[in-house]
Structure 1
Amino acid sequence: MSSGTGGTETSGSGDIARTLDLLWDTGRRPSRGPKPGLTLDRIVEAAVEVADRDGIGALSMRRIATELGTGTMSLYRYVPGKAELLDLMLDRVQRTSDDPADLGDGTWRAALEALGRAILALYRRHPWLLEVNQSRPILGPAALDGMEKVLARIKPMGLSDPELLSAIIMIDGYVVGAARTQLYQEQAERSSGLTDAQFWEAQRPALEKAMNSGRYPVLAALSEDTFDPGFDHFEFGLQRILDGLEAFVARRTAG
């Protein structure tokens, strides 16, 4: 469901037919591996754990084999390579629950609102997703299950099918941008050793001088709470997008 863009890895760059076989469990199963308990599911789980802990750059077949306590060649009996494994990882992390309440109270607005928050939570759990170019995703069962559930909830909007898809893309694109900003802020704090408050405090003397110069009258007149870190910019933006969609639906219905 999510279409984050990055640069270090690209979805769909492996053997597409083999990846689809693995995603939909239509391919030939390997003979019993040399290590009891080694399965494709366990390999994918281990890969996600490595990426969650150390980033997508740490992902390699050798590293996963080490995590599982087996030889690298054993993994190739289950998955052709890293590219195909990445697509399995992408589908795995998109698994949704079967609880209808996860998409709100039944209205299309509640469904899109819940979708936005769910996508943000997904990127918080798996920050490495922001480093994967998913512009050409391989669609597996988890991705299609999620799409099916959301589309079923927002059908009552009364929009055309391309417009319904665009509404989902709109929410996804907004959340990806917000998630990336949050991640970059956290990375900057870790790499610099300065908290956000310390960073802005270091700039305060220069900024106060600039505000007193008369060159920036609009900025200087902003209220003291303008940059309050407690203001939820994500929620504000999400609600305004939904307001816009609601107004559009109302116009379409009236027309």
Structure 2
Amino acid sequence: MAKERSSGAGDPARTLELLWREGAADGGSRRGSRQGPRQGPRQGSRRGPRQGLTVDAVVDAAIGLADEGGLDALTMRAVAQRLGVTPMTLYTYVPGKAELLDLMLDTAFLRMPRAAFAADEPWRERVTAVAGENRALYLRHPWVAELRVHRPPLGPGVMTKYEHELGAFEGLGLDDVAMDSALTHVLGFVQSVARAELDARAVDRESAMSDHEWWAAHEPLLARMFDAERFPLASRVGEAAAVAYQGVYSPDHAYAFGLARVLDGLAALIPPAAAGR
């Protein structure tokens, strides 16, 4: 199960060949029609790539399933059913689920909307844009937040994303290691708050009640059981927070408050002259 929620768990050589399939022997392009891997059936065999089916179609079907039901809904059999083929047919295009996960992740990264940075744009605005792009990605594709990405697939999507996001820190007087570390820090924060937001949405969905509805239903019992004199700080602060959040938790507030603190921390690393540019 752990392997099925991790990137980089498949055959590295086959994964890289599929990720960078622009120059593959089949002549396919990243955005055009592609046939299956080079290790296809011999000429004359009846078992070959299905006409009209491509690696992109397999990846798109897998992403659709994961968007709808999470990684638990993603199986090779389910992908085959969505495409109207047998599971064995998929292996003509993708060696297995591990490699498919890498292709899905790289494709999601490649398709992320990205705004170009203006030369005179303040660094906080650039980093805020990067954070917002990643938050939107997690909310659009919740399964991405489920994946453990310790060894990311080094495909065009990953590299395009990394190149773009490093640009938010370029010219700030940071050395290369500090730039990478700063980006990692920002992305780690965004992933953590995105997971919390997705968990909150799942609770709402599974209970068929919003936080506001849940607290309204249980407030009479809590009022009888909770001793405000015994827990004065919890009572005072909790009530103020509940009013501000209109519930027990506000994803938007947690994100905005946390990102501001992350930016304040990064500001300590940036020389004043560079920060003011």
The answer to whether structure 1 residue 187 and structure 2 residue 202 are counterparts is yes
Find runs of 4+ consecutive structure 1 residues off by over 6 angstroms: 251-254
Q: Give the partner amino acid of 1:133.
A: R
Which of 60, 63, 71 is the aligned partner of 1:56?
71
CA distance in 2: counterparts of 1:222 and 1:97, whole angstroms: 39
Structure 1 counterpart SS, 2:268: helix
CA distance in 2: counterparts of 1:119 and 1:170, whole angstroms: 13
Q: Cα RMSD (Å) of the superposition?
A: 2.7
Q: 1:205 to 1:7 in 2, by over 3 A?
A: farther
Task: Check conservation: 1:151, 1:164, Cα contact below 8 A.
Answer: yes
In structure 2, the residue matched to 1:100 is 116
The Cα shift of 1:11 comes to 0.8
Task: Check conservation: 1:104, 1:111, Cα contact below 8 A.
Answer: no
The Cα shift of 1:152 comes to 2.6
Aligned length: 248
In structure 1, the residue matched to 2:17 is 21
Q: Give the partner amino acid of 2:213.
A: Q
In structure 2, the residue matched to 1:134 is 149
CA distance in 2: counterparts of 1:36 and 1:48, whole angstroms: 21
Q: Give the partner amino acid of 2:264.
A: D
CA distance in 2: counterparts of 1:185 and 1:211, whole angstroms: 24
1:82-135 CA distance string (max 9 Å, x none): 11011000100011446415x896333222111111111111011112221111
Structure 2 counterpart SS, 1:92: helix
Task: Check conservation: 1:51, 1:128, Cα contact below 8 A.
Answer: yes
Q: 1:37-186 alignment to 2 at 5 Å?
A: 37-95=52-110, 96-97=112-113, 99-100=115-116, 106-186=121-201
1:45-80 CA distance string (max 9 Å, x none): 111011101211111112111111122222111111
Q: Which runs of 5+ in 1 are unaligned?
A: 1-5
CA distance in 1: counterparts of 2:269 and 2:136, whole angstroms: 27
1:206-226 CA distance string (max 9 Å, x none): 554566542222233338542
The Cα shift of 1:19 comes to 0.1
Q: Give the partner amino acid of 2:104.
A: M
Percent same amino acid at aligned positions? 39
The Cα shift of 1:153 comes to 3.2
Task: Check conservation: 1:120, 1:175, Cα contact below 8 A.
Answer: yes
1:143-180 CA distance string (max 9 Å, x none): 11111112133111211211111111111111111111
Q: 1:2-21 alignment to 2 at 5 Å?
A: 9-21=5-17
CA distance in 2: counterparts of 1:18 and 1:168, whole angstroms: 29
Q: 1:70 to 1:111 in 2, by over 3 A?
A: same
Task: Check conservation: 1:44, 1:89, Cα contact below 8 A.
Answer: yes
CA distance in 2: counterparts of 1:197 and 1:104, whole angstroms: 44
Q: TM-score scaled by structure 1? A: 0.86
Deviates more, 1:125-134 or 1:30-39: 30-39
Deviates more, 1:83-92 or 1:213-222: 213-222
Q: Which runs of 5+ in 2 are unaligned?
A: 27-35, 42-47
CA distance in 2: counterparts of 1:192 and 1:175, whole angstroms: 26
In structure 1, the residue matched to 2:215 is 200
The Cα shift of 1:253 comes to 6.6
Specify which structure has the bigger relative contact order, considering alpha-carbon pairs within 8 angstroms and separated by 6 or more residues.
Answer: 1
